[in-house]
Structure 1
């Protein structure tokens, strides 16, 4: 009678696939719920840390499954491979975040002006949690920012503040930032030429064809007495505050933009901060660099250092 070798099943490989599915689903649901606003960031971090621990266990079980397959031919090669893949899908982004956590400074507030950063118009919505939180304006934090992000600096543009303000608002609107508060914006925007954002398509067609709208006909007013009257000058200072969220994880961020007119130039400063924890993983510096780059493109030819 011929002998048939019976391959024993690998319990470790089978469990690696089962636990791997649970760990991957747990991490995905945590990110999805946080992106939808159903789970706060500290709770999301806690759930992801649990999923990371399970993924590490799954990776160990998969290695045992491969070892048993190599030495005694145990069944479970496919299960060990699928478990390993699911574990890596959880561990890879966590590993990237860990490397940034170690290599970048533990700060959560970044400003282009470290000596006199713009002041928040509306206080940040900070909810106490198990994640530690320190003062972002501390001198130690600002020193760490200068050492780690030396290229995060303001911009000077050879143009009036009202023109630079239009470019700032257009860039913020393109990124779908939500306005929170502002100072000096209404006075600067009032009186500027209408753009396609403020004029309807029907009005643009009438302007292009030369047709006049009787309802919008100009009303003659008395010529102002310029010699005896007092002309109000436009403000030379404006601050805008926005709030936004990162694209994938939906981490909330608060943004400040300060414009200061100096003679015939306008200087733009920015400040960005996250709301939870002591570490932003470089998100705030990337936000400032990206926005200022977009602003340079919009104001191409008049940007300075």
Structure 2
């Protein structure tokens, strides 16, 4: 009786290393994000996150190389390469989406519902301390006009309610959205306008964004304008426009519940 020796094809080393690098890249990305979240936000502290994606890109290239070797030489490990490649795609999806936003949205980090006369941020001691002495700079008029094309729905909120009631609704909307209200002034006085200043933080990286809201009385009710400005970088990836939209939805919901 003769034994038949069966030689199995070796597992592709490129597939093995692609999975290892993909898992390592995932670990580094998660750790870098956690470190960034619990530290002081800055552009320099984004470097470890960007560096982690070097491993992700290398892992995706190795996975593609593994597919080629497996096809040509019949090596095993296609499942390993598929796992690595899918993990890389998952990690690269936010980067690809960010690149799409960079190519399609206006280069802004400050969005206002009033592009002609944006609400001004408070310069009180309380507001300046909370913003670490920072006052968001004015945006040139031509860039504000570009905002109208990129974010056509960022418009003033007009309510058929007295300004005092609109102020209370705007303040409640800020609290419901989880924003930190720094200070407020009810409508009245010389200008007749009320205002609110607040701070919001992004969900993933916990970046600080500054918000100011102006409430003006009208003959038929009131008008609310909101301005949201990012502290870090010159492009907000649409975050401020989304925040304004969320505020508008919350205000309308509170009006309906009255």
Q: TM-score, normalised by structure 2?
A: 0.86
Q: Which runs of 5+ in 1 are unaligned?
A: 128-133, 189-232
In structure 2, what is the Cα distance between the partners aligned to 1:234 and 1:264? 20
Measured on the aligned residues, the alpha-carbon RMSD in Å equals 2.6
Residue 216 (structure 2) aligns with:
260
**Structure-2 residue corresponding to 1:146:** 148
Q: Which residue pairs with 2:232 in the alignment?
A: 276
Q: Deviations over 1:124-164 (max 9, x none)?
A: 5489xxxxxx9551123212101111221101212211111
Say whether 1:295 aligns with 2:251.
Answer: yes
* 1:4-83 paired onto structure 2 within 5 Å: 4-35=6-37, 37-38=38-39, 40-83=41-84
Mapping 1:100-111, distance limit 5 Å: 100-111=101-112
Q: Please, which moves more after superposition, 134-143 or 105-114? A: 134-143
Query: Higher helix share goes to which structure?
Result: 2
- Could you give the per-residue CA deviations for residues 146-189 of structure 1, whole angstroms, max 9, x where no partner exists? 1111221101212211111111111111112111233x33x87x
Q: Say if 2:171 is the partner of 1:166.
A: no
Structure 2's unaligned 5+ residue stretches are none
TM-score (norm 1): 0.74
The CA distance in 2 between the partners of 1:22 and 1:171, in whole Å, is: 42
User: Residues of 1 paired with 2:41 and 2:23: CA distance?
Assistant: 24
Residue 242 of structure 2 is aligned to residue 240 of structure 1: no
Q: Which has the higher contact order (CA 8 A, sep 6+)?
A: 1
Change (3 A) 1:136 1:10: farther
Mapping for residues 78-89 of structure 1, pairs under 5 Å: 78-89=79-90
Q: Is the 1:107–1:136 contact (alpha carbons within 8 Å) kept by the matching residues of 2?
A: no
The one of 176, 179, 182 equivalent to 2:178 is: 176
What number of residue pairs does the alignment pair up? 249
